[in-house]
Structure 1
């Protein structure tokens, strides 16, 4: 037994020393492969060193990050954030951060952005007299790959959260990785089938991407998914976004360009939309009722998108 133990210890020492050398060389592909081999061998300390180094290179950043999170190694984000921090390789929003010139630490920026969204939503609902922590059924519509969902789960519990997206991979990720209920959306609002109605239907940055042909149709369909006494919360690109981008609205107060950060959806159906407050108010008044507008908060989310809170009696 003593000889066997000595052989195992020697192997671990060799792996550890090899990891140190490779870390110094900073070959990210080899570091990732080394980390995977060390995980398979059960040497978590050496694996953590190799994968943490691989996480620093854009070529292996996400793969290394997910291995660190999945195995809850020493440098895992989950230890200090208290949420599942795995990121789908198909996540367009993470790729946006990863390629943005101002993002020094894309992983941290991505996680912080989801947490910021949760804080902004909590403050918005508090200002409307409907605290988030009292919500028992919450639909996050157009949820993507869970940038915000994971933080919502921490706030109100996975059992109270339902996610929906038109991208099936995003639905699978929400269900299988984040543990929430999830269902596939539809390309046309008339084809959308929801499992129930919800205390809060939260639609973050969908109406800021819809063409005029489907904008109001989605508004009325999603309002139908709100339970009696509940809220529809959605965001738009309003006056500040118009100013920043220098776009010119049409006579109705609308502008649409067939371009977005998503590679998974047809740009003609999911581009970039800008709306005046008057346009949104007119749609709410005509199709839902002016008295249902509970709160309008300019530049509420990300100091960029306007927030709208619509109530249902």
Structure 2
């Protein structure tokens, strides 16, 4: 699969410099030629001649093309602002599934809801920033008992929302209470065919728990399930998760330090860009009986820095991720079901 073009600094500088020359040409129509230094940004005599002969009308069109991205952003912002107002006015279904293991005993109701709200924040940010119209078909995968599904349903009332999960108790709740379509998932992602394409797929807390073969298979499933203009928002354990694992005490990190060290996960992450540590079998049996393997994965982007400032390409996947910064003052919600289980068993 061809890799997306990477705009290096010199290319960007050349583009920006040329664009501002065009802008100046538009803003000073009385000039016989635009303000331009031939070799300032890799210019040539041919290019200078082209600039001299282009009509002011053409320059205006070029400037309009340049601003289209900004115009699209603000136009999309207005559309989603209207949807947000309707979301606030209509509210969200707050009924919870009593057998939802995402809502373990002692979990504050607000903490459960905040995770769904925060997921919606990331989703809307991605849609607006990429200039996408509100999706008409949405997949929440895996859905659980609708922790995020309920917010997607409320925010996009005209969309077809589909919940997919391995476990019947989740799907029954989503169908009967949240009134969304449901599809039974499979552990072998290569065997799944949703029989439709989606404009939006939210995949939270799935790849974060898979070994590399299933991690890759899940990405293949998401790719073939998107519509031509679709977008998938996928959560992974990146460098911040590495930091949490290495610097937080047991009970606040993802795995007991002993389990993390036993797999030499830190070395694997640095070398391969990927590491996976299996949960204790008692956790998998108690919480995920339909799954043969379940644990914690750590993954890095394909390109990462080596010591000495060199660039190294990890081979684990072609996944390119956009980083969406956490707003200042916002709590980071991690709801690891296995961790709560381990604490209750200690």
TM-score, normalised to structure 1, is 0.60
Change (3 A) 1:238 1:215: same
Residues of 2 paired with 1:209 and 1:109: CA distance?
Answer: 21
Does the 8 Å CA contact 1:143/1:163 hold for their aligned counterparts? yes
Residue in 2 aligned with 1:116? Answer: 118
Matched, 1:225 2:225: yes
SS in 2 for 1:164: strand
The 3 A distance-change label for structure 1 pair 114 and 91 is: same
Distance of 2:233 and 2:314 partners within structure 1 = 14
The Cα shift of 1:268 comes to 5.1
**Would the alpha carbon gap of residues 176 and 226 (structure 1) be closer, same or farther in structure 2, given more than 3 Å must change?**
same
2:278 corresponds to which residue? 258
**Match for residue 99 of structure 2?**
90
Q: Distance in 1 between matches of 2:169 and 2:228?
A: 31
How large is the RMSD of aligned CA atoms in angstroms?
3.1
Alignment check: 8 A CA contact 2:139 2:164 kept: yes
1:19-70 CA distances to partner (integer Å, 9 max, x unpaired)?
xxxxxxxxxxxxxxxxxxxxxxxxxxxxxxxxxxxxxxxxxxxxxxxxxxxx
- Residue pair 1:199, 1:230 contacting (<8 A) in 2 also: yes
Q: How far apart are the structure 2 equivalents of 1:241 and 1:175?
A: 34
Among candidates 292, 295, 308, match of residue 271 of structure 1: 295
Matched, 1:297 2:323: yes
How many residue pairs are counted as aligned between the two chains? 212
Supply the distance in 2 between the matched residues of 1:266 and 1:298 (Cα, whole angstroms).
Answer: 33
Deviation at 1:180? 0.6
Other-structure match for 2:140: 140
Map residues 1-313 of structure 1 onto 2, 5 A cutoff.
82-95=91-104, 98-99=105-106, 106-131=108-133, 134-157=134-157, 159-246=159-246, 248-250=266-268, 251-259=271-279, 263-265=287-289, 269-278=293-302, 282-285=315-318, 293=320, 296-297=322-323, 303=332
Shift of residue 264 of structure 1? 2.6
Measured at CA, do residues 265 and 225 of structure 1 come closer, stay the same or move farther in structure 2, by a change above 3 Å?
farther
Is the partner of 1:92 in helix, strand or coil?
coil
Once the two structures are TM-superposed, the CA of residue 283 in structure 1 deviates from its matched residue by: 4.8
Q: Report the structure number with the largest CA radius of gyration.
A: 2
Which moves more between the two structures, 266-275 or 144-153? 266-275
Indicate conservation of the 8 Å contact 1:258/1:268, yes or no: no
- Report the Cα distance in structure 2 between the residues aligned to 1:209 and 1:298, rounded to whole angstroms: 21
- Measured in 1, the distance between the counterparts of 2:192 and 2:324 equals 29
Q: In 2, distance between residues paired with 1:300 and 1:170?
A: 29
Q: Give 5+ residue unaligned stretches, structure 1.
A: 1-78, 306-313
Distance 1:90 1:162 in 2: 20
- The CA deviation at 1:118 is 1.0
Q: CA 1:164 to 1:108, structure 2 compared with 1: closer, same or farther past 3 Å? A: same
* Aligned mates of 1:278, 1:200 — CA distance in 2: 24
Q: Is the 8 A contact 2:97 2:173 kept in 1?
A: yes
Quote the offset at 1:193 in angstroms. 2.2
CA distance in 2, matches of 1:192, 1:200: 17
Q: CA deviation at 1:114?
A: 1.2
Aligned to 2:4: none
Residues 126 and 283 of structure 1, relative CA distance in 2, 3 Å threshold: farther
Deviates more, 1:112-121 or 1:184-193: 112-121
Unmatched segments (≥5 aa) in structure 2: 1-87, 247-259, 261-265, 304-312, 335-346
Question: 1:163 aligns to what SS in structure 2?
Answer: strand
* Structure 1 residues 114 and 249: alpha-carbon distance in aligned structure 2, compared to 1, 3 A threshold: farther
> For 2:199, what is the secondary structure of its paired residue?
strand
The runs of at least 4 aligned residues of structure 1 exceeding 6 Å deviation read none
1:129 CA displacement: 2.1
* Alpha-carbon displacement from aligned partner over 1:196-223 (angstroms, at most 9, x marks no partner): 1111121112111111121101111221
SS at match of 2:276: strand
Deviations 1:151-210 (A, max 9, x none): 111100275211101112111111111011111000101221213111112111211111
